[in-house]
């Protein structure tokens, strides 16, 4: 959420920057609400000061034996006027807060123009895409022929856009999660966390999923208590410090967690209906960093490097792109996507988004810092996938397939699996 005065100070520049991501800022409405709110607050403060003066006059006049009836009547009038001013402020806030909650983060000017993945700008590539002497299969055909995926029974259980793994497939999922967590905690200095998968409306609002994207979430509850299934561990990890004041000397903080993620995929009808690319439930290892705002860009580069290490250790070819302004997530001011090569599709597909949110989420969630001089300010928050289990598994299968239908596992993953090769007959080998 933005500071409304900061938006007004930026004025036309805020309008311009938000327009780059397809959002029209109604500056006149915002200015009217802020002005009315300031006037109402000032009026309420003046009335409180007058109330204090009148109360003192009542005491002085009473001690002198004077008539205090008129003063008491004025005191009652002032109290009514204060209540009226407070009610007016509540009405203005009821219009201002929803407006501000709907305004996305301001994209940096360094972010390219455009409104889709087609406008992303490539930063670098790593690794050679494999050359096959045969027509490569996609991960669905490979997984089913290996006997490690069962999409039909998953659909029977839960409907479309769900997946089930078994045998070597389930072991692959478990091994990948452990591999990523070990990498981040032992080499990248993240603290592993175990967090709730159900969170409150306030928690979802803190990181920007609510109120705008409620249709993208799964919601549950009992009685008067509504809870939301997390779409990513970014939500609970970032909000661990909601409403807190952190010691600036302890920053940056780095957290990682392996959780299921739940997404309704609203608006994606007909897209990626096959396989593991776009499902309602998937597992992911997430990275979150909390730092001083002046360090957020350097922290973003560091986080991207951590996600890239996951792929280089697995020997998977990938590229890094900068997303266009109109393709940024609601809370991000700049995002790098890391896209892994999928031979079955003949294209790069996003496997990690690493975003610098600046102070945007911190303002919404109330995460502040205090330096050694007692000065307070907002922190910056960053998040990134490090990595999703399903999409990474798909990339491993497709890039390491052999003509006989077997798949050779990346060497770094073998200690976590206990096998090197998965075969079409359902067996595994070392």
**What is the rounded distance in angstroms from the CA atom of residue 331 to the CA atom of residue 351?**
19
Q: Is 383 annotated as a binding residue?
A: yes
Q: Can you tell me the mean pLDDT for 154-176?
A: 95
How many CB atoms lie under 10 A from the CB of residue 156?
11
Q: DSSP character for 113?
A: P
pLDDT band of residue 273 (cuts 50, 70, 90) is confident
pLDDT at 426: 83
Q: Is 43 annotated as a binding residue?
A: no
Q: Is 234 annotated as a binding residue?
A: yes
Strand-pair partners of 334: 356
pLDDT band of residue 274 (cuts 50, 70, 90) is confident
Share of the chain above pLDDT 90, in %: 92
pLDDT at 31: 96
Known catalytic residues are 263, 278, 350, 353, 391
Q: Is 353 annotated as a binding residue?
A: yes
pLDDT in tens, 182-236: 999 999 999 999 999 999 999 999 999 999 999 999 999 777 889 999 999 999 9
Q: Is 89 annotated as a binding residue?
A: no
pLDDT band of residue 269 (cuts 50, 70, 90) is low
pLDDT in tens, 329-384: 999 999 999 999 999 999 999 999 999 999 999 999 999 999 999 999 999 999 99
Q: Can you tell me the mean pLDDT for 305-314?
A: 98
Q: Can you tell me the mean pLDDT for 412-424?
A: 96
**Tokens 């490979």, residue located:** 142
Q: Is 355 annotated as a binding residue?
A: no
pLDDT in tens, 56-96: 999 998 888 888 889 999 999 999 999 999 999 999 999 99
Q: How many CA within 13 A on the CB side of residue 183?
A: 26
pLDDT band of residue 268 (cuts 50, 70, 90) is low
Q: Is 263 annotated as a binding residue?
A: yes
- Which of 354, 308, 384, 325 shows the shortest CA–CA distance to 124? 308
**What is the rounded distance in angstroms from the CA atom of residue 163 to the CA atom of residue 277?**
10
The whole-model pTM stands at: 0.93
Q: Tell which wins on pLDDT, 426 or 321.
A: 321
């Amino acid at each position: 959420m933005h500071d409304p005065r900061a938006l007004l100070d930026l004025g036309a520049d805020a309008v311009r920057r938000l327009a780059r991501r397809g959002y029209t800022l109604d500056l006149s409405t915002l200015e009217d609400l802020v002005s009315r709110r300031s006037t109402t607050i000032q009026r309420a403060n003046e009335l409180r000061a007058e109330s204090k003066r009148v109360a003192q006059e009542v005491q002085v006049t009473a001690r002198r034996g004077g008539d205090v009836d008129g003063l008491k009547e004025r005191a009652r009038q002032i109290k009514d006027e204060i209540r009226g001013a407070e009610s007016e402020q509540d009405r203005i806030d009821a219009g201002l807060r929803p407006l501000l909650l709907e305004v996305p983060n301001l994209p940096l000017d360094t972010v390219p123009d455009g409104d889709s993945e087609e406008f992303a700008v490539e930063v670098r590539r790593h690794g050679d895409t494999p050359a096959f002497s045969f027509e490569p299969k996609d991960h669905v055909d490979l997984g089913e022929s290996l006997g490690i995926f069962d999409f039909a029974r998953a659909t029977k259980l839960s409907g479309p856009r769900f997946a089930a793994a078994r045998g070597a497939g389930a072991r692959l999922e478990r091994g990948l999660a452990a591999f990523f967590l070990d990498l981040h905690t032992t080499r990248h200095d993240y603290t592993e966390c175990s967090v709730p998968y159900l969170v409150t409306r306030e928690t979802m609002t803190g990181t920007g999923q609510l109120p705008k994207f409620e249709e993208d979430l799964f919601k549950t509850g009992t009685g008067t208590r509504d809870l939301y299934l997390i779409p990513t561990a970014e939500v609970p990890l970032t909000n661990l410090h909601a409403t807190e004041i952190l010691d600036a000397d302890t920053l940056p903080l780095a957290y990682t967690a392996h959780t299921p993620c739940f997404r309704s995929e609203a608006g994606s009808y007909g897209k990626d209906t096959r396989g593991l690319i776009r499902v309602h439930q998937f597992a992911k290892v997430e990275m979150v960093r909390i730092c001083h705002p002046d360090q957020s860009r350097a922290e973003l580069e560091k986080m991207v490097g951590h996600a890239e290490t996951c792929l280089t250790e697995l020997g998977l070819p990938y590229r890094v792109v900068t997303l266009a302004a109109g393709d940024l997530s609601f809370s991000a001011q700049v995002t790098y996507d890391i896209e892994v090569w999928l031979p079955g599709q003949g294209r790069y597909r996003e496997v990690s988004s690493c975003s610098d949110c600046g102070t945007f989420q911190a303002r919404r969630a109330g995460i502040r810092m205090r330096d050694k001089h007692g000065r307070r300010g907002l922190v910056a928050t960053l998040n990134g996938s490090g990595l999703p289990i399903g999409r990474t598994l798909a990339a491993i299968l497709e890039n390491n397939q052999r003509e006989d239908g077997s798949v050779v596992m990346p060497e770094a993953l073998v200690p976590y699996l206990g096998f090197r090769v998965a075969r079409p007959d359902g067996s595994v080998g070392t």
